[in-house]
Amino acid sequence: MSRPRHRAARSAGFYSTSTVLAVLFLFPMVWTLFSSVHGRQASGRGNGWGIDDYKRLFHYGSGLPAYLLNTTVVALITVCVTVVVTTLGGYAVARFDFPGKNVLFLVTLAILMVPYATILVPLYVFLGWIGLQNSLIGLGLVLAMFQLPFGLFMMRNSFEALPVELEEAALIDGCTPTGVLRRVLLRGVAPGMVTVALFAFLAAWNEFVAPLIFLTDGAKFTLPVALFNLEAGNFGSVDFGALQSGVVTAAVPCVAVFLLLQRYYVRGFTSGALKG
């Protein structure tokens, strides 16, 4: 009888702790959503329900659609470049032997040890040299560069987690290394690719410092920069209702993408990131 009771006590403690943590994490999101539709009461300026805050946000500056489009373009560039480069690089590091392979891998991982803010100014100058300053493409490439270490580590482990016999059998059947990658291995490392894409998307969508430095045209601002300008306000006044509406608008795509890709994300960590 003591073992079932002990198991029941452990289950109760687990679910109680999980519930408390869920409430702590969800409360700010619920309060932000409440404030976005009841902003006047939440900011102490009277009562009122409705979507007036969202209407003001929609027409703020260059317009909410423009900021969302800019953020989406930067996120897509970051995701595409990161996934393509890390997939090819992970395949090369995991399956081929070439001089300096380990050094190249370690140098790529060493990017994680470089303070983020220390290289923004040199990158700003470099983008000016190649004509990508104040450009969404240049910003996307910079953000992709910072995702390469984690992505390469993830994809290398994902490829190493696959049996070498799969590749050998395809080579015997006449496939080229490129054909093996495209027809056989990509299906096996799909969870790792989704994980890399998800991290790249979340990082690019929520990035604030890099767009603030690299973008000088207000019409090209991403949503986080636009919300910062909204928070600054005019003469010290802050439209908290519109700001909360912007926070909700920025969070919805992230939550939707995560929920859509959650099972692939979990499989990517369990099958690739923890092996190798």
Tell me what pLDDT residue 247 has. Answer: 86
Summary mean pLDDT of the chain:
81
Comparing 49-53, 104-108, 199-203, 256-260, which segment has the lowest mean pLDDT?
Answer: 49-53
Given a cut of 80, whether residue 252 has pLDDT beyond it is: yes
Same domain, 155 and 251: yes
Total of domains in the chain? 2
Same domain, 263 and 230: yes
Instruction: Print the domain residue range for 17.
Output: 2-37
Same domain, 29 and 68: no
Same domain, 109 and 26: no
Domain assignment present for 136: yes
Domain assignment present for 241: yes
Tell me what pLDDT residue 104 has. Answer: 80
Confidence of residue 44 (pLDDT cuts 50, 70, 90): very low
Same domain, 146 and 255: yes
* Cβ atoms < 10 Å from Cβ of 15: 10
Domain assignment present for 44: no
Domain assignment present for 69: yes
Domain assignment present for 43: no
Q: Is the dihedral of CA 155, 156, 158, 162 positive or negative?
A: positive
Same domain, 130 and 248: yes
Domain assignment present for 119: yes
Domain assignment present for 134: yes
**Is 181:63 a contact under the CB 8 Å cutoff?**
no
For the stretch 134-170, pLDDT in tens is: 899 999 999 998 898 889 888 888 888 888 887 778 7
Same domain, 29 and 142: no
Tell me what pLDDT residue 236 has. Answer: 59
Higher per-residue confidence, 18 vs 48 = 18
Tell me what the mean pLDDT of segment 33-40 comes to. 72
Same domain, 32 and 62: no
Domain assignment present for 47: no
Tell me what pLDDT residue 74 has. Answer: 95
Same domain, 26 and 68: no
Query: What's the CATH code of the domain at 118?
Result: 1.10.3720.10
For the stretch 56-99, pLDDT in tens is: 888 888 888 999 999 999 999 999 999 999 999 888 888 878 78
Same domain, 164 and 84: yes
